[in-house]
Structure 1
């Protein structure tokens, strides 16, 4: 089934929603706003995944399985090990398919702002020094750039597979705002 666009009506009232896209596309922002509009719980995967000092939390998969078993939630579609579980329970996927330049510029601004203000993210963690962009192959800026194509490929495979829940494909910030306002 082809994806729905920003102005297409949803086939049903969503209860379990995944927001997909690459790092920096705005998944968490949209997921939180959508949860508020729908009046259902939002579960931020990064907050569940990252423990102090960026150490992965041992309880991550169990925490995701626990909320995924409930009837109503919104979360991001990320975290390789939990993707299949989340997809199996989701009844709607919202794909933020923004141009690479847009994603990267959003992420660059966000990363610099968080680092300069030493914004606490999850469990006491803050963005690392900006120079680690050069030395850390998993720095969020490098990760977003290198994973952009993989994310698009994953979504195209999902759409081609035919067994996915309905997918809403949003290609710009304007479309995101318009779609969210229609919910």
Structure 2
């Protein structure tokens, strides 16, 4: 299986994608980890696309890819067979984004090893790069884009799974460990 987990920042993509990868016994790949360098510097697009392609090729037996990065679609969706969209309501997504931002600012955990990148309350709530503001700004446009993608003939070769609540996501993961196994991915 080659799966891309997508959804607005704060929807729980990383947590869900890690659990899914563990359940399926395939590598977990985080686009943020491939993109972010030290001091919150992003990787230039050409190098980013190359890193994605090389990372996906390095796991020929399948993987779970975590992240949106709309501009990477041509590279990542060329390899993917399933898109799992965490489409939670705005209130739930915003709540999770705020809760995560506070937890990360308080813990000061390094987000991606070797980068030194840590979130702060100032950065998370009062800067132009605020992840909370990003969630507010992109929730509606992400929803429109993924709804359109599900019916776009260009993506008819992809299997879309739309999960609308944390309970649906938990049930979906549970279903993968049932006797029917991974056949749920093809529903």
| TM-score of the two chains, using structure 2 as the length reference | 0.84
Residues 122-161 of structure 1 mapped to structure 2, 5 A cutoff:
122=112, 123-130=115-122, 133-134=125-126, 136-161=127-152
After superposing the two structures, state which structure 1 stretch, 35-44 or 57-66, moved more: 57-66
Q: Give the Å deviation of 1:177.
A: 0.3
Residues 46-61 of structure 1 mapped to structure 2, 5 A cutoff:
46-58=32-44, 59-61=47-49
Structure 1: runs of 5+ lacking an equivalent: 1-14
Q: 1:175 aligns with which of 162, 168, 177?
A: 168
Structure 1 residue ranges (4+ consecutive) displaced by more than 6 angstroms after TM superposition: none
1:106-156 Cα distance to aligned partner (Å, 9 max, x none): 11011001101112111211003336623x222100001100011111111
CA–CA separation in structure 2 for the residues paired with 1:42 and 1:77 = 11
CA–CA separation in structure 1 for the residues paired with 2:109 and 2:124 = 17
| TM-score of the two chains, using structure 1 as the length reference | 0.86
Aligned residues: 168
1:82-118 Cα distance to aligned partner (Å, 9 max, x none): 1221112111110101001001101101100110111
SS at match of 1:130: helix
- Tell me if the contact between 1:28 and 1:75 (Cα under 8 Å) persists in the aligned partners: no
CA–CA separation in structure 1 for the residues paired with 2:81 and 2:70 = 19
1:7-56 Cα distance to aligned partner (Å, 9 max, x none): xxxxxxxx100101000101111111111111111111111111111111
Residues 30-45 of structure 1 mapped to structure 2, 5 A cutoff:
30-45=16-31
More helix by share: 2
Q: What is the RMSD computed on CA atoms of the aligned residues?
A: 1.5
Structure 2: runs of 5+ lacking an equivalent: 177-187
- Tell me if the contact between 1:112 and 1:130 (Cα under 8 Å) persists in the aligned partners: no
Higher RCO (C-alpha 8 Å, min separation 6): 1
Residues 25-104 of structure 1 mapped to structure 2, 5 A cutoff:
25-58=11-44, 59-69=47-57, 70-71=59-60, 72-104=62-94
Judged with a 3 Å threshold, the aligned counterparts in structure 2 of structure 1 residues 175 and 45 are, in CA distance, closer, same or farther, namely: same
- Tell me if the contact between 1:31 and 1:42 (Cα under 8 Å) persists in the aligned partners: yes
